[in-house]
Structures are given as C-alpha cells and as structure tokens.
Structure 1
Amino acid sequence: MLFHPAIPIFRCFDERLARDFYLGFLGFVETFAFRQDRDGPLCLGVQLGKCRLHLSEFFGDASPGGSIRIEMDDVHGFCAAVLAKDDPHARPEVQRQPWGMDDMTMSDPFGNRLIFCTDIPDGAG
C-alpha cells in the first residue's frame, strides 16, 4: 500500500483574498475550483512544488486557525522572493530553530499559519 502526502484543508472566507495571498503573493498555482452552484461556497485547490492545499469556504470543512509545516529546499531564497514583492502586510523572516530547521512563519488572511522550513545543513550553526 502506497500513501501520498496529506492534503490539508484550510478554511477561507473570501475568494479574492485567498487568490491574492496564495496565488499572487506566495506563488501557488490553481489546480481546481469547485462550487456546487454559481453563488455557492468555493473549494479551491492550490499547489506550490509538491505542496498541495485545499482552501474551502464550505462550512464544516475546517476551522480557521489551522497550522501546517511545509518543507522546502531553500527557505532563505523563498523568503527573499516573498520580501521582494514588498507587501506592507507581510514581512516574514527566517528563524533558526533549536531542533535543526530554519523556519519562515506567515499567517494567511483567515488566521491559518504556514511554516515554510528547511533543514539546517550539517555543520551549520
């Protein structure tokens, strides 16, 4: 039996804010958008590298305030790319953690926390 990475569901309340943050600011790409009817709530699939998320306006899919760790090869490079977008509402920085990772933590407009992280190379401080 082969398992694939879990796909977290984050609650969102505003399609424009979700698209601006995840697609525009962070650089995720849309993989699908689903509504049961034209004016119904949205479930939006997004992906950045191998990280996939579902952003849902559907009541009961998730509670706001979730948290996820997203492992990546170069959190410092990603942080520099995000900072280059010069968004006055998001000025993240990388923090070295005592458990051997560099973390960049951000919250989306709905209170969900994303922690982008990279292993500290052996021998690095």
Structure 2
Amino acid sequence: MIIPILRIFDYEKAKEFYLDFLGLQLDWTHQFEDNMPLYVQVSSEGDVLHLSEHHGDASPGSSIRIQKKSLKQYQKKLLEKNYPHMKPGIEETPWGTLEVTVVDPFSNRIIFYEDKK
C-alpha cells in the first residue's frame, strides 16, 4: 500500500478540511510530547493519508490523485456541506476521466477521479 504524506501547518484547519469537509475519519495522531508537531492518519474507504506538521516530511503544494467511486455523488455531498473556502466542480478530461479537484489550506491539491464508463 502506498500512503502519501501531505504537509500541514495547523491541525485545527486540517481537521476542518479533511474530516469535516472531505469526510475522512481520524485514525490516530502521534506527538512526541506537548508542543511538538503532530503526525496524523486519516482514511476513508481504504484510502489512507498521512498529514504531518514536521518540517521536512513533505513539501507544501503537493498533488495526489485518488480514485473514487460515485464521484458525482461525492461532489454533491461536498457542495452540500457549504464549506466556505471551496466549491469544487466536476471536470471531464480528454483522457477519459471525471475529476474533482480540491486544495487544502496548505496548498496541497487532491484530485479525486473516476474513469468514464
């Protein structure tokens, strides 16, 4: 299994985006001691992401692609949440996919995609 690591700078903003908006679940958090950076695992339907406040774990502004079933339904759920910072649309690509792109508060781009049938 490949698990991407995305750089975050603020755990509360990350929770608002990844848990409340995207609907991922928090699996665990790790912190060496109080007032140290957090390292977090979130997941949904077998997809797993690690989010890290540690300098050097990842570069902000990364891009990842996640295959998603029922992409149109997922996009509709995202819009219903009325998240003030993102209203993602659906793009039909020339390479035969439907795609929904979101950008987290730390400039990481997540492209959810589904192959057109």
Q: TM-score range by the shorter chain?
A: over 0.9
Residue 48 of structure 1: how far off its partner (Å): 1.4
| 1:84 counterpart residue number | 80
Q: Given the alignment, which residue of 19, 37, 56 partners 1:60?
A: 56
Deviating beyond 2 angstroms after TM superposition, the runs of 4 or more aligned structure 1 residues are: none
What CA distance in whole angstroms lies between the structure 2 residues aligned with 1:98 and 1:9? 29
Is structure 2 residue 18 aligned with structure 1 residue 22?
yes
Q: Structure 1 counterpart of 2:74, which letter? A: F
Residue 88 of structure 1: how far off its partner (Å): 2.5
Is structure 2 residue 9 aligned with structure 1 residue 13?
yes
Residue 21 of structure 1: how far off its partner (Å): 0.4
Q: Given the alignment, which residue of 30, 33, 37 partners 1:34?
A: 30
What CA distance in whole angstroms lies between the structure 2 residues aligned with 1:86 and 1:37? 35
* 1:20-39 Cα shifts (integer Å, max 9, x gaps): 10011110001110001011
Is structure 2 residue 113 aligned with structure 1 residue 120?
no
What CA distance in whole angstroms lies between the structure 1 residues aligned with 2:99 and 2:7? 23
What CA distance in whole angstroms lies between the structure 2 residues aligned with 1:72 and 1:25? 16
TM-score normalised to the size of structure 2? 0.98
Q: Structure 1 counterpart of 2:79, which letter? A: L
Q: Given the alignment, which residue of 71, 87, 103 partners 1:107?
A: 103
Unaligned runs of 5+ in 1: none
Q: Alignment identity in percent? A: 41
Residue 45 of structure 1: how far off its partner (Å): 0.3
Count residues in correspondence.
117
